[in-house]
Structure 1
Amino acid sequence: MTTDVPGRPSVAVLGTGIMGSGMARSLLRAELPVRAWNRTRSKAAPLATDGATVADTPEEAVRGADIVLTTLNDGPAVAETLTAATPGLRPGQVWLQSSTVGLDATTGLAHRAADLGLVYLDAPVSGTRQPAEQGTLTVFVSGPSHARATVLPVLEAIGQRTVWVGEDPGAATRLKLVANTWVINVVNSVAECLNLAEGLGIDPQLFLDSVKGGPLETPYLQGKSAAVLSGDLTPSFALSTALKDSRLILDAAGAAGVRLDLVAASAERFTRAEAAGHGAQDMIATYFAGRAE
């Protein structure tokens, strides 16, 4: 069980899925006291072995914490958890909101934080399971600059780089949506290359070998292709989450008057793959959306 240590901010981690559990362990390695909560308690329970205090409710987790870190799936989940945590919150607590929730939800959460007297930092992260577990995420942060010193130990524990985007809550989320546009389009490009190779009777490995060492090779191409070819679709970033993010990107683009044809097509592929039962697998399972029936 963790205990508060002078000079080390205590952190309530709300949401211990793929990303939250990895971030919690990174905080614990940095010797920051962690209180962890998850809707399904069994997902948080293993963190006790690493030194976290596992709470039964969001209220219990946040009570007395210096920093509240939310790593939940979407806007409604964050809003619901905030409501449950409210009796344990106090004015002046710093809320590091790292869930990818989209622009409208970010604005709404910032307003709720202001009503509660919380210091709100919009702080989505770029990275998947392995960077979360290794503490090598990139963290995009926007919010009041006076909170930077307070959250610095947390940011240094979970990430290898922090990009300060500005004071405006929502600025970091806008950058995250741009970054995710790149990832979503790339993963579907990898899947389509493998689909076409298979359809044309070409060994996919031959394609991978043909670009190896050249300017078109990327570790991402090789890694995601290896996952498909080996059949190991353990999620680093779940397909259903990628679909959620695709829809958030399209909503933001529509509001900005921008047409994103590739993201729209990616969302369609994710939708088909999810309907076929691949939602809980890694997002490269979009590969199955391109296979012949």
Structure 2
Amino acid sequence: MKVAVLGTGIMGQGVARHLADDGHDVTAWNRTREKAEPLAASGVTIADTAADAVAGADVVLSILFDGDAVEEVLRDGASGIGSDAVWVQASTIGVAATQRVVDVAAELGVDLVEAMMLGTKKPAATGALVMLAAGDADLIARVQPVLDSMGAKTVTAGPSVGDGTKLKLAANAWIASITAATAQSIALAEALGLNPQLFLDAIDGGQSDTPYAHVKGASMIAGDYPAQFALDGLRKDIGLMLDASAGTDFDPTLLRSLGAVYGAASDAGFGSDDIAAVRTGFRGTGSRD
């Protein structure tokens, strides 16, 4: 299929490269062209504008940072999109912004579904994401070959665009929690004078174990945080979770605490590092100078 990828950050680069490797005809666009140009070596066509990128595409993927960016690019790209194309909103932008995008798509006559990407840099680059789709079933069926290429499986969250966003926020709340919990136990072990590896050894193979703790825990112990999922991205998502839950009977106490510890790590200079750098949000690690 002919696919346009709009946004070539950490996730967009991996997705565009993998789709091209998997036999799709891929065109990519990024506001800063230099960030997209390395994809040309993988057979991806680089476009100068969003409208140029979507011209002739069967599927358009928007993989951008926030709702304002998605809305702006949707308006810019709509002038070039064909009547048979389906726009797949894959950016984590929250419930309110998603509704704005739905309204703009309706105004512009663009067929829209969403497919949130559950996973980080490596799964994006290897087609091993979990895709959280929502929207009209016939439109999802039309883009399914691309979703199958991007992900190990697709979970359909519901019939309305926005249902996938809600599920993604719930899933990312879990990621935020277990990453911070791993950091807390490692920090506590160190504060009590223990080798923090002992914590990982203690949970290894038990009912409370998760492979994720060992992957992120190793990074925390090494103090090395190459970005798979940028900490500021997850910090943003925690804010979206709080916004979405306002007015419901959900108690946001834990989310607020998570926001504080990820915020402390970001304020210490680790916002562009991997989420494992939340370890620096606990006392005793200092700031990056």
Interval containing the TM-score (normalised by the shorter chain): over 0.9
Matched positions, count: 285
Task: Structure 2 unaligned segments of length 5 or more: list them.
Answer: none
Check if 1:26 corresponds to 2:13: no
Shift of 1:26: 1.8
* Equivalent residue number for residue 205 of structure 1: 197
Partner Cα distance (2:248, 2:114) in 1: 20
SS in 1 for 2:106: helix
* Equivalent residue number for residue 173 of structure 2: 181
Any conservation in 2 of the 1:13–1:34 contact (CA below 8 Å)? yes
1:63-94, Cα deviation, whole Å (9 max, x unpaired): 12111100111111111222222321243420
> Which of residues 212, 216, 219 is equivalent to 2:211?
219
1:226-245 matches, within 5 Å, as: 226-245=218-237
* Equivalent residue number for residue 277 of structure 1: 269
Check if 1:255 corresponds to 2:255: no
Compute the TM-score of the two structures, normalised by the length of structure 2: 0.95
SS in 2 for 1:291: coil
Partner Cα distance (1:13, 1:66) in 2: 11
Give identity over the alignment, percent.
42
* Equivalent residue number for residue 6 of structure 1: none
Any conservation in 2 of the 1:235–1:282 contact (CA below 8 Å)? yes
Check if 1:68 corresponds to 2:60: yes
1:188-239, Cα deviation, whole Å (9 max, x unpaired): 1011111111111111011111221211221100000111122320111000
Any conservation in 1 of the 2:118–2:131 contact (CA below 8 Å)? yes
1:138-177, Cα deviation, whole Å (9 max, x unpaired): 0111111111332011011100100112211111111111
Alignment-mate amino acid for residue 253 of structure 2: D
> Which of residues 115, 118, 122 is equivalent to 1:126?
118
Partner Cα distance (1:124, 1:152) in 2: 13
SS in 1 for 2:221: helix
Partner Cα distance (1:279, 1:257) in 2: 31
Any conservation in 1 of the 2:50–2:76 contact (CA below 8 Å)? yes
Check if 1:150 corresponds to 2:142: yes
Compute the TM-score of the two structures, normalised by the length of structure 1: 0.94
* Equivalent residue number for residue 39 of structure 1: 31
Alignment-mate amino acid for residue 127 of structure 1: G
Check if 1:192 corresponds to 2:184: yes
Shift of 1:129: 0.7
Alignment-mate amino acid for residue 76 of structure 1: D
Any conservation in 2 of the 1:92–1:118 contact (CA below 8 Å)? no
Any conservation in 2 of the 1:90–1:117 contact (CA below 8 Å)? no
Check if 1:114 corresponds to 2:106: yes
Partner Cα distance (2:178, 2:220) in 1: 15
Task: Structure 1 unaligned segments of length 5 or more: list them.
Answer: 1-8
| Moved beyond 3 Å, runs of 4+ | none
SS in 2 for 1:39: coil
Any conservation in 2 of the 1:143–1:167 contact (CA below 8 Å)? yes
Partner Cα distance (1:255, 1:64) in 2: 43
User: Considering only aligned residues, what root-mean-square deviation do their CA atoms show, in Å?
Assistant: 1.2
